[in-house]
Chains A and B, each alone.
Chain A
Amino acid sequence: MTPTVRKPKIIKNSVRTRLIVFGILAVLLVICSLLSDHLTPYDPYLQDLSNAKAAPSQQHVFGTDRYGRDMLSRVIVGSRTSIFSTLLLVAIITAVGTVIGVFCGWHGKKIDTVLMRISDMFLAFPGLVFALAVAGVLGGGLHNAIFALAAISWPKYARIARSQTLAQKETPYLRAARLSGSGTVKMLAKHVLPNIIGPILVTSMLDIGTMMMELAGLSFLGLGAKPPIAEWGSMMSENRALFTTVPWITLAPGLAIFISVMIFNLLGDTVRDYADPRTRGR
């Protein structure tokens, strides 16, 4: 009997440990990007042509770019643009998708059908291609890139929120709340939303990494953040011509993207495991 009793406990503990570890890492990342102005060893915008394209050394851990700007400083400053625009994007699509989904699920009828067909249309499109087209039409720039990715990414959240709301709608406790004289807004805010928000938040955690990649991708293609603003995707793109002669020059932004995407993905996975009572145990 002992092993079957102990097993869930081990799983639970490891999930919780992972949650704490990755949570702390993610928070550190966000704090770093908040304090980035104070963490840079050099001025990230200061050009020093005499020291351009320097190889990694004690003074410049990741080398310098073609204008002699310190890569490490630029990556640190770039974290603010990259991480905050990603978090903003994920917040937007989560909020918009949830509102639309809850509305559709609750209201039903024609408007539900129409909105869901529209979201089907978006879901059927390859995301990055659509975002490229939108950003291309609107012109480059970080705001347009965020808008383009938001326009294509909300339907996933609307789908989840809608199906969750439909499942909630007929539960006895919602009927009881109605019978207790709660109006629609109260029922949605006090009963429906708290009960559906878990899976939605898990999805957004898992999406942070993806969205970071896609934003960096758009910036890399010149449709996101514009130089001289330090942003990881555009930094890689700026320096890609030099890749053959000075290969370390894209190392710093590449590593930064890789590490942050990995941290947020692992955090998302862990939150999903934690939210699922079967893997968390009782």
Chain B
Amino acid sequence: MQPILKVENLTKVFKSNGRPDFTAVDHIGFELMPGECLGLIGESGSGKSTVANLITRLTDLSAGRVVLDGQDISSLSGRGLRDAYRKMQMVFQTPTESFDPRRRLGDGIGESLRNFGNCRAEVKERVAELLVQCGLTPDFAEHYPHQVSGGQCQRAAIARAIAIEPRLLICDEATSALDVTIQKEVIQLFGRLREQLHLSILFICHDIALVQQFCDRVLVMYKGKIVEEGVPDEVIQAPRNEYTKRLIESIL
């Protein structure tokens, strides 16, 4: 089977005037199979969000290749890239800021549907459906981002990401602002989508217990490098890498 996402030699160097260059992501590579859920853990500042931004091409690559569903997207732009976004969506780490403060949540959730050719009435109906799916009520479509709580906004962000039924979903701490019961619902929703749509998920997370419960495989990142990879239970119970050991000890 062909991987839905293949990352090779991914590198990001931030250049800044005066200070030395900073390598936030350092030659990393991995594969993600259809229907698989891959966890990505690591301490704050280890480069997880940067990896997500590189895969979605929201940040320019310094080096490396991103292959989505057999297509190299690392040098696409404009139309080509927009077509790639039909297959790939992301839930941002900062849900409230990921909605335009001057537009209603419904506009944000339906934006991709409209851009990919649905009419207004269809979009409205689908947005209501998505909101219910993510544990909100349809009237949240009329709210502005500052009128809802962080957790509600996060669920709206998830609704937006799954609106066009992508093949790959990148979740950058998508459940961090949710309480345990809602988190469980969202995880169950992801589970259903994985079965129904054969959705693959790159699950960036701080919560090792959640990764252990939800992910098929886990990557451990440290200072821009992947230091360990494996099945969550094994990585957590018998970490081989010195850093992983410390990370897990500090959390458990």
Which residues of A are in contact with B by a Cβ distance under 8 Å? 171-173, 175-183, 186, 190-191, 194-195
**A192 (CB) vs chain B CBs: closest residue:** B100
Given contacts A180-B111, A180-B160, A181-B116, contact A172 B85 (CB under 8 A): no
Q: A177 → chain B, closest Cβ, in Å?
A: 6
Q: Is the CB of B92 closer than 8 A to any CB of chain A? A: yes
Chain A residues contacting B103 (CB-CB under 8 Å) are 190-191
Complex CA–CA separation, A35 to B196 (angstroms): 67
Q: Tell me the chain B residues, 52-103 only, with Cβ under 8 Å from chain A.
A: 53, 56, 58, 78, 82, 85-86, 89-90, 92, 94, 97-103
Contact B112 A172 (CB under 8 A): no
Contact A181 B86 (CB under 8 A): yes
Contact B108 A173 (CB under 8 A): yes
Interface size on B, residues (CB 8 A): 25
Q: A67 → chain B, closest Cβ, in Å?
A: 55
Given contacts A173-B97, A175-B58, contact A182 B111 (CB under 8 A): yes
Contact A181 B82 (CB under 8 A): yes
Chain B residues contacting A178 (CB-CB under 8 Å) are 58, 85
Contact A179 B101 (CB under 8 A): no
Q: Is the CB of B115 closer than 8 A to any CB of chain A? A: yes
Q: A113 → chain B, closest Cβ, in Å?
A: 15
Q: Tell me the chain B residues, 195-211 only, with Cβ under 8 Å from chain A.
A: none
Given contacts A181-B82, A181-B85, contact A176 B99 (CB under 8 A): yes
Q: B106 → chain A, closest Cβ, in Å?
A: 13
Which residues of B are in contact with A by a Cβ distance under 8 Å? 53, 56, 58, 78, 82, 85-86, 89-90, 92, 94, 97-103, 108, 111-112, 115-116, 157, 160
Q: What are 27 pairs between A and B in contact, CB < 8 Å?
A: A171-B97, A172-B97, A172-B98, A173-B97, A173-B98, A173-B100, A173-B101, A175-B53, A175-B92, A176-B92, A176-B99, A176-B157, A176-B160, A179-B89, A180-B111, A180-B112, A180-B115, A180-B160, A181-B85, A181-B86, A182-B111, A186-B115, A190-B100, A191-B103, A195-B100, A195-B101, A195-B102
**B96 (CB) vs chain A CBs: closest residue:** A172
Q: B160 → chain A, closest Cβ, in Å?
A: 7
Query: For chain A, what secondary structure do more than half of its interface residues adopt (helix, strand, loop), or is it mixed?
Result: helix
Q: What 8 A-B pairs are tightest by C-beta distance, nearest first? A: A180-B112, A181-B115, A172-B98, A180-B111, A172-B97, A173-B100, A181-B82, A176-B98
Which residue of B89, B92, B98, B100 has the most chain A CB atoms within 10 A of its CB atom?
A: B100
Q: A166 → chain B, closest Cβ, in Å?
A: 16
Contact A182 B115 (CB under 8 A): yes
Chain A residues contacting B92 (CB-CB under 8 Å) are 172, 175-176
Chain B residues contacting A194 (CB-CB under 8 Å) are 102
Chain B residues contacting A172 (CB-CB under 8 Å) are 92, 94, 97-98
Complex CA–CA separation, A176 to B94 (angstroms): 11
Contact A177 B78 (CB under 8 A): no
